Amino acid sequence: MQGLEMDEQSNSNANLMHRRANAIPRGIGNAHPVFVERAENGEIWDVEGKRYIDFCAGIAVVNTGHRHPKVEEAIAKQNARFSHTCFQVAAYESYVELAERLSELAPGDFDKKAFFMTTGAEAVENAVKVARHFTGRSAVISFDGAFHGRTLMAMALTGKVTPYKAGFGPMAAEVYQAPFPSEFHGISVEDAVHGLNRLFKYSVDPERVAAIIVEPVQGEGGYIPGSAEFLRALRGICDQYGILMIADEIQTGVGRTGKMFAMEHFGVVPDITTMAKGLGGGMPISAVVGRADVLDSIPPGGLGSTYAGHPMACAAALAVLEVMREEQLCERSAAIGVRLRNRFHTLQKNVREIADIRGLGAMTGIEFTRDGVPAPDLANGVKTLAFEKGLLLLTCGSYGNVLRLMLPLTITDELIDEGIDIIEQAILTLTTASQLEPA
């Protein structure tokens, strides 16, 4: 009996957190002090049997829910045949089929090709390699607040110093950042375009710029949607100077914004699209999809990676694309977004710290301020209270004051409402005092 208790205890969240702290460096962040036992669609159970509603989806990854039966089946079937041969050594059809499917689905009616990597950052690195090789130019432009990953080029492209860049220099050379427009933060499209033109005047010859990389909706930067006006202006600038436009759809892609790819909302066609996260339904896979002439510029051997386009991940991705279509998850994503934002707009009427509610499709952000000043303590406080009540949430934003909601697109309305109730309660608890102040 005592032995059993010891066993149970040694598997507690607290014990595992202790071992984590001793074994894992601090740099690997930790949003919740919890260890997972199992997960199913929109729910996760921890090692102590506590159940959580999952509004994180593994950071916008399991768009088709945890353990979707069709995705599970595809992975199991593939594993029963072979798990790894390395596509460059001995190829398999699923890689080719996935490239064909994504080339059909990605924006643009020109000839497209696709190749695969494992992580989002690798897709970004490779998109830049391709753009440099094709254009024969070396400079790359990204945006303030952007997030493109933690590897050298992706880190340099990322527009937030702490914790992503501080102490990790020197950065990859010839990377420049321009302002990203955000009406709420007082940066107009005109300001953003002006910022780019300033770069061209003072910092880099536009004729030396290989690519501009942009998230159609900034993710880590605060869930800030771009606009048709801005993205069209960017497209125009790219065309004017022969610069390639890379849409980083790693977080926005695969239905997250209510369309397969967020760029479809804006009627703007990039030359290259990067994808990852939702594509594999939980298996690690990323993609670079784009103009065939651009991607074909690199000679054999210039692209590739041992695990890239892993057979199990390709099988999972093909199943994900089928599930997205069969279950109309783009439409569902749009409906989830409306449901979330309606409820929070109602709440906003009584909570002045809710400064902004924004998003596209299911991708929804709630920004907190106090007297106009970013209030990361509120965003974090809501996250912590929600965790105690059994809901997993994450924050984002340049000041960490935005709650971001990333629901599996297969989640039920009941679970969504239960999750919203928890957030609402947490917000009311943490902001009641300020409501009592005289107006």
Q: In degrees rounded to 5, what are phi and psi of residue 345?
A: -65, -40
In angstroms, the CA 117 to CA 125 distance is 10
- Residue 43 and residue 36: Cα distance in Å, rounded? 11
The single residue listed with the structure tokens 């499709």 is: 361
149 binds ligand PMP (CB under 6 A): yes
Binding mask 57-96 for ligand PMP (x = CB under 6 A): --x-------------------------------------
Nearer to ligand PMP (CB atom), residue 46 or residue 215: 215
Position among 148, 332, 383, 404 found at the interface with ligand PMP (CB under 6 A) = 148
**What number of CA atoms fall less than 13 Å from residue 380's CA on the CB side?**
8
Contact between 121 and ligand PMP (CB under 6 A)?
A: yes
- Which listed residue (250, 287, 354, 411) binds ligand PMP by CB under 6 A? 250
Residue 287 or 354: the one with the smaller Cβ distance to ligand PMP is 287
Kindly state whether residue 398 participates in binding ligand PMP, applying the rule CB under 6 A: no
Question: Are 280 and 61 in contact, with CB atoms under 8 Å apart?
Answer: yes
- Please say which residue, 57 or 250, places its beta carbon nearer to ligand PMP: 250
Q: Near ligand PMP by CB under 6 A, which window of 81-89, 114-122, 293-301, 334-342? A: 114-122
124 counts as binding ligand PMP under rule CB under 6 A? yes
* Residue 218 structure tokens: 């900034």
Least distance (Å) between residue 278 CB and ligand PMP: 11
Structure tokens at 426: 């947490």
CB distance 262 to 256 below 8 Å? yes
Decide whether 283 or 415 has the Cβ nearer to ligand PMP: 283
Burial class (CB in 10 A: 0-12, 13-18, 19+), 186: exposed
Buried b (16+ CB within 10 A) or exposed e, 98-124: bbeebbebbbbeeebbbbbbbbbbbbb
Q: Of 251, 333, 395, 398, which one interacts with ligand PMP (CB under 6 A)? A: 251
Q: Which is nearer to ligand PMP, 260 or 415 (CB)?
A: 260
Per-residue contact flags (x/-) with ligand PMP for residues 254 to 283, judged by CB under 6 A = ----------------------x-------
Which of 42, 58, 179, 219 is in the footprint of ligand PMP by CB under 6 A?
219
Nearest alpha carbon to residue 156 among 169, 137, 172: 172
Nearer to ligand PMP, 123 or 420 (CB): 123
Of 262 and 391, the one with the shorter C-beta distance to ligand PMP is: 262
Closest CB to ligand PMP among residues 206, 225: 225
Q: Is 119 one of the binding residues for ligand PMP (CB under 6 A)?
A: yes
What is the full DSSP assignment across 281-336? BTB--EEEEEEHHHHTTSPTTSS--SSTT-HHHHHHHHHHHHHHHHTTHHHHHHHH
**Contacting residue, 215, 353, 356, 367, with ligand PMP by CB under 6 A:** 215
Among 16, 43, 27, 18, smallest CA distance to 412 is for 43
Stretch that binds ligand PMP, among 116-124, 135-143, 236-244, 317-325 (CB under 6 A): 116-124
Query: Is the Cβ–Cβ distance between 123 and 286 less than 8 Å?
Result: yes
Between CA 340 and CA 321 the distance in angstroms is 25
Smallest separation (angstroms) from ligand PMP to the CB of 151 = 7
327 alpha-carbon distance from chain centroid: 22
Q: What does the binding site for ligand PMP look like in residue numbers (CB under 6 A)? A: 59, 119-121, 124, 147-149, 215, 219-220, 248, 250-251, 276
